[in-house]
Amino acid sequence: IVVTSFEIEIMPANKIVAQIGETLVLTCNTTGCASPNFSWRTQMDNPLGGTVTNHRTYSTLTMNPVTLVNSHDYLCTAFCGEKEKKEKSVKVELYSFPSDPIIEIRPSSVAAETVTVTCKIPDVYPSDHLEVILKKEEDVLHEKKFYEDDSTNTETKTVTYSFDTTAEDIGKEITCVAKLPIVYMDFKPKERVTSQKLNANFGPKNTIITASPSNSPMEGEPLKLTCETESNPPAQIVWRKHPEDKNIQRLTEDNVLSVPCASFTDSGLYICEVMNLATNKTEKATVDIIIQGAPKIAELSIEPSTTVQEGENVSIQCSAESNPPPKIILRRRSDSADMGTYSEGKIFLPSVTFLNGGDYECIAENMFGKITSEITLNVMCGPKNMMISVIPATAVKEGESVMMNCTSSGNPAPTIFWKKKKATGESEKIFKGATLTIQNIRIQDLGLYECEAYNQFGKEEKVVKLLVQERLGRPDHMISLIIAFSSVTAVAVPAVAILIYVSRQAKINGSYSLVKALRLKV
């Protein structure tokens, strides 16, 4: 088994040169120890000026952004158990030379006898190494070295020089060369240059807008518009859009307008207006942007509501946005696909019925894709279309079983009761539910059965006649008793009385003649 010794290293190693304002990450890595403990500190125990994150075998110190407090020797200490300890240090040196010089020439027109050139070098550190040279073409106008500067922070340094001009100076180039030649620090660039011509004020002119990736990007892609113009001094730029977009200024930086993720609402006419305050002139450039992409459902709605009562007028509307414009199909899902389309994306249902309820789908499609959205129309109504089924039949033999099932449409779903007509003509509730089952049926079970369905919007009733064939003592004495019941017949009560009398006589005598009984009663 190879045993690895406990070691430590810091990356980057040795001396580090970092620019103020950027991000620096120091990594302290160990080998030969499964779970080391780490600590970071600086010389003289100054603040770390960063964030420490410990991992299993390494630790990081992140300085974001790098500031002057990070100019130290950093020491990383790693402990493996209680006895082993390793340390490693690294020196962090700082500089700041972030951008090119800025030249200002006053007055900007060389028509004046004397002009003043100002060169600004932003955020320099350490400035005691800064050298600045002002040149006209290849001739050195002025040179300044800041070797005696004692600034302890980043500062913008300025060099100013005035000189007399002649007509020959028109068009000549004024150059500001800034150098930060720190020998013991390795960074680039150590020299920055900016030039500006001694020209009369002009412009803006030849203003154009370029669109990247194109004038017709796909939805979701980034869009960048760049406004370019010729102007001295540089023109001020204002972006506008038609239709108006109040958020447009938040997307602009100098002459560039950036849309990170283009949407259909970003389509429109973009206007770049450039203004030169010195010449008091303005120029405009425009570009028409069309965002392409698959459709998106902008609206799918039901008026007056997704829940209505039968008889109301209902309007279903769907709209989608895309480029090219989408083909829109709006239909009920239960309808076949060839029911026809609605080019305006609308369906009008006058005096809506229960059958109009259900799921409606909106399909929007163009060459880039298709999207489907659904909405449900809920039509409230009272019970209707009642149906009663009897198994095995409405005429059964005594001792058998019968099942009567009642169905009724309605919204909300109706409550169903079964009732039985009494001899008095009144109805008595006997069961709540759709299916009424009578086991071992008796002669007393024959009669009229009524199904009633109701909800808050109405009720519906239907009657079924149940006929029972009585079983007598001997097979040859079986007779069929079919009694027709009706709630509107005046003889319902006498018929029931005769039936009861016949039944009792049959039980007393063992057999009974219905014909004789009827003759006696008559």
The CATH number for 293-380, chosen from 2.60.40.10, 2.40.50.70, 3.30.70.20, 2.40.110.20, is: 2.60.40.10
490 Ramachandran zone, left/alpha/beta (phi>0; psi -120 to 50): alpha
Domain 7-95 identical in fold to domain 102-200: yes
What tokens does 311 get? Answer: 């008889």
The answer on pLDDT for 501 being more than 70 is no
Q: Rounded to the nearest 5°, which phi and psi values hold at 496? A: -65, -40
pLDDT (tens digit per residue) in 152-163: 899 999 999 998
Q: How many C-beta atoms surround the C-beta of residue 461 within 10 A?
A: 15
Peptide bond before residue 260 is cis, with ω within 30 degrees of 0: no
- What residues are paired with 328 via a beta bridge? 364
| pLDDT given for residue 156 in this prediction | 94
pLDDT (tens digit per residue) in 293-345: 999 998 999 999 999 999 999 999 999 988 899 999 898 887 554 444 455 68
Per-residue pLDDT, averaged over 47-61, amounts to 93
Peptide bond before residue 295 is cis, with ω within 30 degrees of 0: no
| pLDDT given for residue 335 in this prediction | 58
pLDDT (tens digit per residue) in 177-218: 999 999 888 899 999 999 998 876 667 889 999 999 999 999
- What residues are paired with 30 via a beta bridge? 8
DSSP string of 191-225?
Answer: EEEEEEE----EEEEEEEEEEES-SSPBTTS-EEE
| pLDDT given for residue 364 in this prediction | 92
CATH, range 102-200? 2.60.40.10
Residue 144 to residue 147: CA distance in whole angstroms: 9
Split at pLDDT 50, 70, 90, the class of 108 is low
What is the architecture, at CATH level 2, of domain 382-469? Sandwich (2.60)
Split at pLDDT 50, 70, 90, the class of 165 is confident
Could you give the C-alpha distances from 481 to 99, 138, 443, 518, in angstroms and in order? 113, 132, 9, 13
Does residue 482 contact residue 489 with C-beta atoms inside 8 Å? no
Q: Which amino acid belongs to residue 152?
A: T
Split at pLDDT 50, 70, 90, the class of 114 is confident
Whole-model pTM over 0.75: no
Residue 356 to residue 361: CA distance in whole angstroms: 13
| pLDDT given for residue 513 in this prediction | 35
Domain ranges of the chain: 7-95, 102-200, 205-289, 293-380, 382-469
| pLDDT given for residue 509 in this prediction | 35
| pLDDT given for residue 477 in this prediction | 35
More confident residue, 336 or 486: 336
Does residue 384 contact residue 460 with C-beta atoms inside 8 Å? yes
What is the architecture, at CATH level 2, of domain 7-95? Sandwich (2.60)
The answer on pLDDT for 454 being more than 90 is yes
Split at pLDDT 50, 70, 90, the class of 50 is very high
pLDDT (tens digit per residue) in 384-407: 999 999 999 999 999 999 999 999
More confident residue, 68 or 340: 68
The answer on pLDDT for 84 being more than 70 is yes
Per-residue pLDDT, averaged over 69-91, amounts to 91
Whether CATH 2.60.40.10 fits 205-289? yes
The answer on pLDDT for 286 being more than 50 is yes
| pLDDT given for residue 3 in this prediction | 63
More confident residue, 250 or 48: 48
